[in-house]
DNA sequence: AATGAATGAGAGTTCATTCAT
DNA sequence: CATGAATGAACTCTCATTCAT
């Protein structure tokens, strides 16, 4: 890449470069402690160039949030699309995918779930992005909801509100991973995977039809 | 209260005033976006006065964190001390207490659960407070763990690791309330209480002995 | 002493108490780093009381300066008043007195000779005190000048301007002690007393009549 | 110079500009009373720009101290390098150089000799600079010591410790100039040059071999 | 298009001084 | 008289953003 990104591709590549640098820094230092200068130094570019590609610090954060959710959505979609599997199995696949996302993209997970920026700031400016994020979040939840619905239909799960159940399941996953994030698990000597397996097992058990 | 807090009570009242103002601001804006000037303006006092009552910005934050956990612990202890109740019922009492804490002290909940300060800064200065907080957190978890243990002993629950289950249960509660916090529930038209009841029902069901 | 200084003596004693505390702090921490609160804490009084006895921080500094010069003047007068001694001997007595002043009242010496306050600030407000200080300084110099004059008259010293010589002698003493103050001597392994003796010896030798 | 210093020279020039402004302010107001804002206002730049060129307030002070000693050292070296001259003459050349330094660079002299910063602060941060300064000070003293040593060897001076004598000579110079600095001479109607000439004459006379 | 020097509005914190008690 | 809580201006330093180059 030359000093100037004349072609559209070169520009895109440069944009990507900045995004990566920003993602790493937001992950390592959090939103407030991340400076534009630091991002651009990591990207091997100058400070001013940042504003050629992004409008503001908060904008790039939102874009990353958006990216993260995109990746998660894709990982989930792929995981869930095993048509042959039972609903329980597909839910396990989905939660596994969530865990995998956390492990493979911890930076994105942090940005999505821990959210170190105050919601206000996130909403204030350029609310269009915020809306997009909300919509994507919803789409993910819907996927899980659909699986549960099918499980109920097929008689695998007892009669329950698929939406409620999906939301609860997702809250559970978020909550557990957050415990891990805050190092609260280490103190107790519990491993995240075991915890998820255990908690999820209980919940799925509760969802299944009793005979 | 006069213009100057001469008596010990007046001083305590003023301290409380500042704490409240700080709590509100930390809740609304997060740690970084909260400024001393803003806190003191809300308290109707001048900036310099802050340092008559507190050592630093991070100190007041830790104190609030500590307060919050204290309140939560008390609410939980009171709720859990129904000796006659079954394990399930006592767990419901505990989670109800957690929800009540969230509803009655949302600012505290935010400070405790979302924790918007970088962990580093929280640990760096005056680490004694950080330790206290960690210990209290653990104590809360232990209370829940004990209930489960008793439930296992009494045969109400099937054989399971009380610690794992308690941690999972707490993660679930955190996760669900956080969804509510982020307004994710409103979009889906779900109420927090219903969600908690539902999710908890499933989990407890999974924990119970099957015959 | 009671909580209130009703009698004139009690007030004077309190004034003295504050002055001592201030002197110690100015010596240990310098002018800028000394705070009124610290002074009054050391004096066992409250901050506000300071302004009952002194107009400002700079005023008390000037007063101490004044005190210091008073003490020095007295020590010198006493030392010099050996009427029987030769001029050289009396000069040695005077310089010894200066050294003794430095050793016995290092705090005062520091305030007088090192002068950590900018001259501007010293002159700006209430110039009357500054004038007094200047006058006293002059009086000290005059004493030394007189000794030299007598030495010249008696033929012990060769013909020289007593004022010039006195000023030079005093500058020498100040300069040497300042070297000691700045720890410059320690690096070179020289002791102040030896240095003074040596330098003064040379100068006095230069002053004496050659045959 | 344009509004922005793009080239390396322009940057150096701007750095110099700030250094000059700082030097003047340190000279006029002392270390504590000098503010970054004031320095930069004098330099015609904004406050933030200061930190583009210097790390901190104490750093720029140390740099100036260093500069000053450099200039003095050079002036002395040049003055002293008259190989043909006698030891006395070379000492006079050295002291003349010191006086010239005081007259041509009074701001630097003040920074070097009066030293208005508490030694602690000077040592605390980035102690390497402090060491350099100490070393340079020593080097200057050594130059004078060498001259005296040669004078003793050549028989021009009587047997005396060159180090002691050099230190004493330097203390004398410092002391005399400081008298001038504090305006103590003006009151007495003495001119610095005359005073130096006189005092130095006496001392040198004392150092010479008597026959 | 790219640079990075410059800006300036704050940030947290300190402290001489005031004044209600 | 004495107190010490309260003030608020001033301090050093940071950083998102701008804009001359």
Mean predicted lDDT score pLDDT of chain C: 86
CB atoms within 10 A of CB A8: 8
**Which residues of C, range 143-172, sit inside 8 Å of D by Cβ?**
160-161, 163-165, 167-172
CB atoms within 10 A of CB B128: 9
Q: Rounded to whole angstroms, how far apart are CA atoms A7 and A13?
A: 10
- Say which of D138, D169, D206 has its CB closest to residue C205: D206
Beta bridge partners of C157: C208
Distance, Å, C58 CA → E17 C1': 13
Is the distance from CB of A20 to CB of A28 less than 8 angstroms?
Answer: no
Q: Rounded to whole angstroms, how far apart are CA atoms B34 and B178?
A: 21
- A211–B contact, CB cutoff 8 A: no
The closest alpha carbon to C27, from C141, C131, C181, C192, belongs to C181
Whether residue C170 and residue D190 make contact (CB cut-off 8 A), yes or no, is no
- A16–B contact, CB cutoff 8 A: no
Mean pLDDT, range A89-118, rounded to an integer: 84
Whether residue A202 and residue B33 make contact (CB cut-off 8 A), yes or no, is no
Please check the confidence at residue D14 and state whether its pLDDT lies above 60.
yes
CB atoms within 10 A of CB A61: 23
DSSP-assigned letters across all residues of B142-196: HHHHHHHHHHHHTTSB-S--HHHHHHHHHHHHHHHHHHHHTTHHHHHT--HHHHH
What are the φ/ψ torsions at residue D116 (nearest 5 degrees)? -90, 0
- The label of the residue with tokens 């042959």 reads A84
Please check the confidence at residue B116 and state whether its pLDDT lies above 60.
no
Distance, Å, D122 CA → F2 C1': 40
**Closest nucleotide to A33: CA versus each C1':** F15
* Bases of strand F lying below 7 A from some protein CB: 1-21
**Closest nucleotide to B43: CA versus each C1':** F6
Please give, one letter per residue, the 3-state secondary structure of D11-42: HHHHHHHHHHHHHHHHHHHHHHHCCHHHHHHH
Residues of B in contact with A141 (CB under 8 A): 188
Where would I find the H helices in B5-126?
Answer: 8-33, 36-42, 47-53, 57-80, 87-104, 106-109, 119-124
Q: How close D67 comes to chain C (CA, Å)?
A: 19
Q: Rounded to whole angstroms, how far apart are CA atoms C136 and C73?
A: 8
Whether residue B165 and residue A205 make contact (CB cut-off 8 A), yes or no, is no
Q: Rounded to whole angstroms, how far apart are CA atoms D190 and C164?
A: 7
Rg (CA), chain B: 20
The pLDDT tens digits for A179-210 are: 887 766 777 788 999 999 999 999 999 999 87
Among B109-118, B186-195, C172-181, name the one with the lowest average pLDDT. Answer: B109-118
End-to-end Cα spacing for chain D? 65
What are the φ/ψ torsions at residue A23 (nearest 5 degrees)? -55, -50
Distance, Å, D36 CA → E2 C1': 31
Is the distance from CB of A165 to CB of A116 less than 8 angstroms?
Answer: no
Q: What is the largest CA-CA distance in chain B?
A: 69
Mean pLDDT, range D3-25, rounded to an integer: 92
Domains and CATH numbers, chain D: 1-54 (1.10.10.60), 56-207 (1.10.357.10)
Nearest C-alpha in D relative to C166: D199
Q: Rounded to whole angstroms, how far apart are CA atoms A207 and B13?
A: 51
- Say which of A137, A170, A190 has its CB closest to residue B164: A190
What are the φ/ψ torsions at residue D164 (nearest 5 degrees)? -60, -50
Is the distance from CB of C116 to CB of C32 less than 8 angstroms?
Answer: yes
- The label of the residue with tokens 């990104």 reads A5
Q: Rounded to whole angstroms, how far apart are CA atoms A62 and A123?
A: 10
Question: Given pLDDT bands bounded at 50, 70 and 90, which one contains residue D90?
Answer: very high
Cα atoms in the 13 Å half-sphere on the side-chain side of B124: 8
DSSP-assigned letters across all residues of D60-86: HHHHHHHHHHHHHHHHHHHHHT-TTS-
Structure confidence at residue A8 (pLDDT) = 84
Structure-derived torsion over alpha carbons of residues D37, D39, D41, D43, reported in degrees to the nearest 10: -150
Counting residues of chain B whose pLDDT is more than 70, the rounded percentage is: 90
The pLDDT tens digits for B170-182 are: 999 988 988 887 7
Structure confidence at residue A1 (pLDDT) = 46
Q: How close B38 comes to chain A (CA, Å)?
A: 16
Where would I find the H helices in chain C?
Answer: 8-33, 36-43, 50-53, 57-80, 87-104, 106-109, 119-124, 127-154, 162-181, 184-188, 192-207
- B209–A contact, CB cutoff 8 A: no
**Closest nucleotide to B2: CA versus each C1':** E20
Q: Rounded to whole angstroms, how far apart are CA atoms A79 and A85?
A: 11
The pLDDT tens digits for A37-85 are: 999 999 999 999 999 999 999 999 989 988 988 898 899 889 888 877 8
Among A10-14, A161-165, B118-122, name the one with the lowest average pLDDT. Answer: B118-122
pTM of structure: 0.85
Of residues C133 and D151, more confidently modeled: D151
Beta bridge partners of D132: none
The pLDDT tens digits for D59-77 are: 999 899 889 888 988 998 8
Whether residue C202 and residue D206 make contact (CB cut-off 8 A), yes or no, is yes
Structure confidence at residue B185 (pLDDT) = 74
Distance, Å, C46 CA → F21 C1': 59
Q: Rounded to whole angstroms, how far apart are CA atoms B61 and B58?
A: 5
- Report how far apart, in Å, the C-alpha atoms of B201 and of each of A90, B89, B92, B103 are: 22, 11, 9, 20
Structure confidence at residue A137 (pLDDT) = 79
Residue in C117, C203, C211 to test binding to D, most D beta-carbons within 10 Å = C203
Whether residue C198 and residue D172 make contact (CB cut-off 8 A), yes or no, is no
Q: How close B12 comes to chain A (CA, Å)?
A: 31
- Report how far apart, in Å, the C-alpha atoms of B41 and of each of B18, B33, B37, B62 are: 10, 15, 6, 21
Structure confidence at residue B117 (pLDDT) = 62
Q: Is the CB of B5 under 7 A from strand F?
A: yes
Q: Rounded to whole angstroms, how far apart are CA atoms C176 and C193?
A: 10
Is the distance from CB of B203 to CB of A206 less than 8 angstroms?
Answer: yes
Mean pLDDT, range C46-69, rounded to an integer: 93
- Chain pair A-B, CB pairs under 8 angstroms: 142
The closest alpha carbon to C18, from C44, C65, C7, belongs to C44
- Report how far apart, in Å, the C-alpha atoms of A47 and of each of A44, A54, A117, A154, D96 are: 10, 12, 22, 57, 52
Q: What angle do CA C135, C17, C70 make, to 5 degrees?
A: 20
Rg (CA), chain D: 20
Is the distance from CB of B187 to CB of B135 less than 8 angstroms?
Answer: no
**Closest nucleotide to A49: CA versus each C1':** E2
DSSP-assigned letters across all residues of C96-130: HHHHHHHHH-HHHHIIIII--S-HHHHHHS-HHHH
Please check the confidence at residue B122 and state whether its pLDDT lies above 90.
no
Element (H, E) at C1: none
Q: Rounded to whole angstroms, how far apart are CA atoms D89 and A151?
A: 107
Whether residue B188 and residue A138 make contact (CB cut-off 8 A), yes or no, is yes
Cα atoms in the 13 Å half-sphere on the side-chain side of A92: 14
Q: Is the CB of A61 under 7 A from strand F?
A: no
**Which residues of C, range 100-119, sit inside 8 Å of D by Cβ?**
115-119
Structure confidence at residue D82 (pLDDT) = 82
Please check the confidence at residue D126 and state whether its pLDDT lies above 60.
no
Whether residue A187 and residue B33 make contact (CB cut-off 8 A), yes or no, is no
Structure confidence at residue C1 (pLDDT) = 47
Whether residue C160 and residue D198 make contact (CB cut-off 8 A), yes or no, is yes
Question: Given pLDDT bands bounded at 50, 70 and 90, which one contains residue A9?
Answer: confident
- C123–D contact, CB cutoff 8 A: no
Structure tokens at C97: 């007195």
Q: Are chains C and B touching, using the cut-off of 8 Å on CB pairs and a minimum of 3 such pairs?
A: no
- Report how far apart, in Å, the C-alpha atoms of C185 and of each of A72, B73, B156, C115, D143 are: 71, 64, 84, 20, 16
Structure tokens at C190: 């020289």
Structure-derived torsion over alpha carbons of residues A152, A154, A157, A159, reported in degrees to the nearest 10: 40
Would you give the DSSP letter of residue A208?
Answer: B
**Which residues of A, range 33-92, sit inside 8 Å of B by Cβ?**
33
Whether residue D198 and residue C141 make contact (CB cut-off 8 A), yes or no, is no
The pLDDT tens digits for B65-103 are: 888 888 988 998 898 888 778 999 999 999 999 999 998
Q: Is the CB of B14 under 7 A from strand F?
A: yes
Residue in B173, B203, B207, B211 to test binding to A, most A beta-carbons within 10 Å = B203
Q: Rounded to whole angstroms, how far apart are CA atoms D93 and D83?
A: 12
Q: Rounded to whole angstroms, how far apart are CA atoms C181 and C177?
A: 6
Would you give the DSSP letter of residue C48?
Answer: G
Q: Is the CB of D57 under 7 A from strand F?
A: yes
Whether residue A163 and residue B201 make contact (CB cut-off 8 A), yes or no, is no
The pLDDT tens digits for A105-150 are: 988 887 776 655 665 666 554 556 667 777 787 888 888 999 999 9
Whether residue D171 and residue C175 make contact (CB cut-off 8 A), yes or no, is yes
């Amino acid at each position: 890449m030359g000093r100037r990104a004349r072609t559209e591709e070169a520009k895109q590549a440069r944009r990507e470069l900045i995004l990566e640098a920003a993602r790493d820094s937001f992950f390592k230092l959090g939103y407030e402690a991340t400076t534009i200068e630091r991002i651009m130094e990591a990207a091997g570019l100058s400070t001013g160039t940042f504003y050629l590609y992004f409008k503001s610090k908060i904008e790039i954060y939102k874009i990353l949030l958006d990216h993260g959710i995109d990746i998660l959505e894709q990982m989930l979609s792929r995981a869930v699309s095993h048509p042959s599997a039972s609903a329980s199995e597909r839910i396990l696949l989905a939660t596994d995918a969530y865990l995998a996302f956390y492990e493979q993209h911890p930076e994105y997970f942090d940005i999505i779930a821990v959210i170190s920026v105050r919601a206000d700031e996130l909403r204030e400016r350029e609310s269009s992005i915020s809306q997009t994020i909300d919509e994507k979040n919803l789409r993910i939840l819907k996927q899980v909801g659909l699986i549960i619905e099918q499980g109920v239909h097929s008689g695998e799960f007892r009669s329950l509100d698929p939406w409620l159940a999906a939301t609860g399941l997702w809250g559970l996953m978020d909550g557990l991973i957050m415990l891990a994030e805050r190092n609260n698990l280490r103190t107790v000597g519990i491993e995240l995977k075991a915890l998820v397996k255990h908690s999820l097992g209980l919940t799925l058990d509760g969802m299944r039809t009793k005979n």
